[in-house]
Structure 1
Amino acid sequence: MITFDECGAMLDEIADSMPYELYRDLNGGISLLPQSKVHPKALHNDLFILGEYIRNSLGNAIVFYYGSINRVYGTLDKEEYRNKLVEILHHEVRHHNEYLAGCDDLGIYDKNQIDDYLRKHGK
């Protein structure tokens, strides 16, 4: 299992490898929190939020949830786990850049994914 510190180090390395311009106005930075976060629409506590783009009065930030990531991907080897972190970061950075551009295509995609989950699980 990847430890919290190992996950944080991987995230730092991944974030540092991306073009700095993608982080314009991301004044709250990127954080890794230890907890799990279940999606509010989860029917059986089986839908986890791995990361999220947050906009509030303090600014714009990306948050990763280590507990959720390990719950979903904890059995993967180190390289596969790192690849999932790359996917999550790319997803959240895209949310940020779409917000700056005034569109929300990824938000619509995410909503459709939740709607599909609810249809498949009987709600």
Structure 2
Amino acid sequence: MAFSAICERNAPVSDVKEERSLELSLFRETAERIVSALPPVLFRQLNGGVLVVPGARSDGEYLVMGEYIEDPGLGSIIVLYYGSFAEELEDASEDQWIEEIEETVLHELRHHVESLAGVD
């Protein structure tokens, strides 16, 4: 699936490790819980919703944790890259994972709201 990125939230790239402290299913549940706790008005016109992608994404030496995408054909989407979180938070506690997921969702959602307001 090809997307054109508008904004990326980056973290430095570290060595790839296989062990992941928060499984993908729990990551999805956590992201869904965070999104569900926010006011629905913030998601107006986010017609692609919040998508969790299992893989990692990098931009040069930085991991891309999430991105806000505006695509004429696909609409507006927030993407969270589970693999990037897993690489960055390999030895982190569940609370640290939750904090980083929430911070990333809010960061990308801010770009969506700015887009609705006509701010680049």
TM-score, normalised by the number of residues in structure 1: 0.78
- Residue 74 of structure 1 deviates from its aligned partner by 2.4
RMSD: 0.7
* Structure with more of its chain in helix, by fraction: 1
Q: Is residue 53 of structure 1 aligned with residue 68 of structure 2?
A: yes
Task: Measure the CA separation in 2 of the matches of 1:67 and 1:100.
Answer: 29
Structure with bigger RCO (C-alpha 8 Å, 6+ apart): 2
Unpaired segments ≥5 residues, structure 2: 1-20
**Percent identical across equivalent pairs?**
32
Q: Is residue 7 of structure 1 aligned with residue 22 of structure 2?
A: no
Would the aligned equivalents of 1:74 and 1:81 in 2 still touch at CA under 8 Å?
Answer: no
Task: Measure the CA separation in 1 of the matches of 2:77 and 2:58.
Answer: 19
Q: 2:88 aligns with which of 72, 75, 93?
A: 72
What is the aligned residue count?
A: 99
- The C-alpha deviation readout for 1:56-91, integer Å capped at 9, x for no partner, is 121000000000011111211001110110000000
Unpaired segments ≥5 residues, structure 1: 105-123
Secondary structure of 1:49 counterpart: strand
Give the equivalent residue in structure 1 for 2:38.
18
Give the equivalent residue in structure 2 for 1:38.
58
Task: Measure the CA separation in 2 of the matches of 1:75 and 1:6.
Answer: 16
User: Match of 1:50, as an amino acid?
Assistant: M
Task: Measure the CA separation in 1 of the matches of 2:91 and 2:115.
Answer: 33
Task: Measure the CA separation in 2 of the matches of 1:17 and 1:74.
Answer: 26
State the 4+ residue runs in structure 1 displaced beyond 6 angstroms: none
Give the equivalent residue in structure 2 for 1:29.
49
Give the equivalent residue in structure 2 for 1:117.
none
